[in-house]
C-alpha cells in the first residue's frame, strides 16, 4: 500500500485527527489537528514520518485549534478549508471561550482550497471536494487510488453532520453527500471526524438520513 494512516482521537470531542504518510517518501500530512499536540507528535514519531503540511477539512475548533501552533513549530503550510469557513476561523477565540475549549488564536491558512483542487502528500495526490452543509467551506480529501476519503463532519457511520450551527445548511449537506460523495463509489472507505470508519456503500444502504430508500 502506498500510504499509511494513523488516527489519533483528540480533544474532549474525540475528534479523529489523521496522520497520512506516503510510504515511498516518508512525508506526511496531519489532517484536522484539533488539540492534544503531544499525542499527535507521539503518533508521528511512532510512524517515522516527516510532516510536510497540515490539511483542514473545516474551521470548527475541534478540527483546527492546534493547526497554527503546529504550523509555527514545524514551519509547514496549512492547506484548507475552502474560504467559506473564514467566518469560523476568524472567530476561533470566541468559539473556544464560549465552549470552554482550550484557547486558540485566529489564523490564515496558507492556501484556501476550492472544489477540484489537489493536495500532495509526498508522492500521493488527494482530490479536494467542496462539500458544504455542516459548514460553508467544508472540504473532503479523496485518494482515488486507495479509495479512501477523509470526510470531516460531513457524514458518519450511521449519521450525518449537524447543521444547526451558524451558516449550516441541511439541504446543502444532503446534496454534498448524495451528489458529490456517493457517486465516488460504494467501495470507498471513509474516515469521519468522529467515530468509526465506514464505506459509502454501507451508508447508502443503511444510514437513516441519506440512504437510497429515503429518496425513492
**pTM attached to this predicted model:** 0.97
Indicate whether 138 pLDDT > 90. Answer: yes
> Which whole-number Å values give the CA distances from 48 to 59, 71, 200, in the listed order?
28, 19, 31
Domain count, the chain: 1
pLDDT tens, residue by residue, 93-102? 999 998 889 8
* Nearest one of 189, 216, 67, 143 to 203, comparing CA atoms: 189
Position 2 scores a pLDDT of 92
- Domain boundaries, position 46: 3-215
Indicate whether 156 pLDDT > 90. Answer: yes
Percent of the chain residues topping a pLDDT of 70: 100
* Nearest one of 108, 184, 182 to 147, comparing CA atoms: 184
Q: How confident is the model over 103-121, as a mean pLDDT?
A: 97
Position 198 scores a pLDDT of 98
With the C-alpha atoms ordered 32, 35, 41, 46, is the resulting torsion angle positive or negative? negative
- Phi, psi torsion values for 87, nearest 5 degrees: -55, -45
> Which whole-number Å values give the CA distances from 121 to 67, 94, 149, in the listed order?
17, 32, 14
The pLDDT confidence band at residue 205, using thresholds 50, 70 and 90, is: very high
Look-up of cell digits 447508502: 204
Look-up of cell digits 458529490: 180
Helix/strand/coil (H/E/C) assignment for every residue in 60-77: CHHHHCCHHHHHHHHCCC
What distance in Å separates the CA atoms of residue 48 and residue 44, rounded to the nearest whole number? 6
Position 102 scores a pLDDT of 87
- The CATH number covering residue 154 comes to 3.60.15.10
Position 151 scores a pLDDT of 98
pLDDT tens, residue by residue, 8-65? 999 999 999 999 999 999 999 999 999 999 999 999 999 999 999 999 999 999 999 9
Amino acid at each position: 500500500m502506498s500510504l499509511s494512516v494513523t488516527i489519533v482521537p483528540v480533544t474532549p470531542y474525540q475528534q479523529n485527527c489523521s496522520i497520512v504518510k506516503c510510504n515511498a517518501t516518508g512525508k506526511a500530512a496531519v489532517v484536522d489537528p484539533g488539540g492534544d499536540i503531544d499525542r499527535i507528535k507521539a503518533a508521528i514519531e511512532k510512524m517515522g514520518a516527516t510532516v510536510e503540511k497540515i490539511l483542514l477539512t473545516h474551521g470548527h475548533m475541534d478540527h483546527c485549534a492546534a493547526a497554527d501552533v503546529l504550523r509555527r513549530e514545524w514551519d509547514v503550510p496549512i492547506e484548507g478549508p475552502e474560504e467559506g469557513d473564514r467566518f469560523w476561523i476568524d472567530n476561533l477565540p470566541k468559539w473556544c471561550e464560549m465552549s470552554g475549549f482550550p484557547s486558540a488564536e485566529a489564523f490564515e491558512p496558507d492556501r484556501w482550497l476550492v472544489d477540484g483542487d489537489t493536495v500532495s502528500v509526498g508522492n500521493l495526490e488527494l482530490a479536494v471536494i467542496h462539500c458544504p452543509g455542516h459548514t460553508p467551506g467544508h472540504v473532503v480529501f479523496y485518494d482515488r487510488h486507495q479509495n479512501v476519503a477523509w470526510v470531516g463532519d460531513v457524514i458518519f457511520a450511521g449519521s450525518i453532520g449537524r447543521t444547526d450551527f451558524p451558516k449550516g445548511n441541511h439541504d446543502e449537506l444532503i446534496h454534498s453527500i448524495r451528489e458529490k460523495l456517493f457517486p465516488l463509489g460504494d467501495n470507498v472507505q471513509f474516515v469521519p471526524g468522529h467515530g468509526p470508519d465506514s464505506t459509502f456503500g454501507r451508508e447508502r444502504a443503511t444510514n437513516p438520513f441519506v440512504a437510497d430508500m429515503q429518496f425513492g
